[in-house]
Amino acid sequence: MSFIFHLYTYHSVAKNQPKSLLVCENCSLEICTFFNLVKKMSERREFLSKQALILLFILSIVVLFLGIIFIYTGLNESFYSSQNSIFKAITYLGEPVVFIIIAAILYIGYNKKFAKNLVLSLLIATYLNQFFKSIFQDPRPTANFNAAEDYGLVETSYGFPSGHTQTAVAFWGFLGYEFKDNPTKKLEKFTIPIIPVILSSIIFLVSISRIIVGVHDVQDIVGGFLIGIAVLLMFMYLEPLISEKFNNLSFSSKILLTLVVSISMFLVGTLLFPNAGMGLVPTPPLFPDSGAFGLFGGVILGFGIGYLLEGEYVKYDPTSLPRKKLIINIVIGLIILLIVFVPFEYLLKIDSVFYRFARYGLASFVLSFLVPLICKKIN
């Protein structure tokens, strides 16, 4: 998984270089901005940029061909194991509740903007994964059948591409990029970024765990891995450009745009695929409390509105607080978030995608607005 920390170096050029002014006659401002970005990406670290792309391309080809070999040689099912208790635990590192807790800790105790971008990277990967699953409608392996589970299935959604793998790349990969420079381990000719190496290992283990617990084939993992890389790359390069345009809007326009995007994306996905997340169930219910469309729309709405309101009226800044206060704020924030999230997620059962939309919207709004407000008042 070394591609991730080579990728970090490649992307850091565009992020860290100072802005310059290009004089461009008879060209629009957008074209000038584009060429300015290209110029900055090619300055000083051009060799590392090419090296990163080459390594990424080679790794993707290797992963793809290994997957094809395993599938056509019949070795695919040899990975399934009944002795998989450790990997059942590892696979939870790709579950939404883990992502929510880590994002909350980073939002309250590290950097709000980075946490916001981390959530966006995860949400885009989640939405696209559900969209691809619903289109390809690929069945899962026979090991997914379990009479003790609801509907007799361990997982009720389609298999390709693997959601855990795709979101793990988008989440842990983006997180590793943030901490690519600190801490590091210097060898004779190389500098190893420790945190990206650890997080790359998590991506690998989560991916492998989905095969070992019997809910995915190799092609599901390969597809999720490659699509996750594509999502991560696209987000890294498009996010600064889109954020610059978004930040130039008025406050009311930002609120309106957030409302329109969240609700429209939720409705489009839900109406196109009313059984999302339940595709393998013989007679799936309409608009069930499953799938990514309700989660995506709810979090975009709740977190987006809360983030905008917080930035306008609260202005909580974790970077200016001492460590002791940060720890207290994190503990308080997690307690508040879990008090709101757990009852609606695990206790109150309403089988409706609209309920899913509402509860994730509520929880993410509490995290992005109410928690910083309470922490600032306490501080």
Instruction: Provide the token pair at 206.
Output: 């989560």
Statement: residue 35 has pLDDT above 60: no
Average pLDDT, the chain: 80
The predicted pLDDT at position 146 comes to 79
DSSP character string of 266-301:
HHHHHHH-TTTT-TTSSSPPSS-S-SSHHHHHHHHH
The DSSP string of 166-220 is HHHHHHHHHHHHHTSSSSEEE-SS-EEEHHHHHHHHHHHHHHHHHHHTTS--HHH
* pLDDT surpasses 50 at 252: yes
pLDDT in tens, 314-354: 999 998 889 999 999 999 999 999 999 999 988 888 999 99
Give, as one character, the DSSP assignment of residue 322: -
State the pLDDT at residue 210: 86
Reply yes or no on whether the pLDDT at 74 is more than 70: no
Q: Is pLDDT above 60 for 22?
A: no
The fraction of the chain above a pLDDT of 70, given in percent, is: 74
Residue 33 binned pLDDT confidence (cut-offs 50, 70, 90): very low
- For 109-121, the pLDDT digits (tens) are 999 999 999 999 9
Place of tokens 């390594």: 55
pLDDT in tens, 343-357: 998 888 899 999 999
pLDDT band (50, 70, 90) for residue 204: confident
Confidence check: pLDDT of 15 > 50: no
What's residue 180's pLDDT? Answer: 75
- The residue type of 34 is F
The string of DSSP letters for 92-155 reads GGGSHHHHHHHHHHHHHHT-HHHHHHHHHHHHHHHHHHHHHHHHH-PPPPGGGB-TTSGGGBS-
Q: Is 315 helix (H, G, I), strand (E, B) or coil?
A: coil
pLDDT computed for residue 178 by the predictor: 83
Instruction: Provide mean pLDDT across the span 201-220.
Output: 85
**What pLDDT shows up at residue 3?**
44
Question: Is 6 or 104 the better-scoring residue by pLDDT?
Answer: 104
Distance of alpha carbon 106 from its chain centroid, rounded?
14
Q: Nearest-CA neighbor of 100 among 308, 265, 345, 311?
A: 345
Task: Tell whether the model's pLDDT for residue 363 goes beyond 60.
Answer: yes
CA distances from 127 to 112, 242, 346 (A): 22, 19, 22
Q: Please tell me the number of Cα atoms within 13 Å of 72 on its side-chain side.
A: 6
**pLDDT tens sequence across 132-187:** 999 999 999 888 887 777 788 888 899 999 999 999 999 998 988 888 776 655 55
| Tens-digit pLDDT profile for residues 253-299 | 999 999 999 999 999 999 999 999 998 998 888 999 998 999 999 99
pLDDT on residue 191: 62
Pick from 176, 169, 171: nearest CA to 12:
176
pLDDT at 67: 55
Q: What is the dihedral of CA 99, 101, 103, 105, to 10 degrees?
A: -150
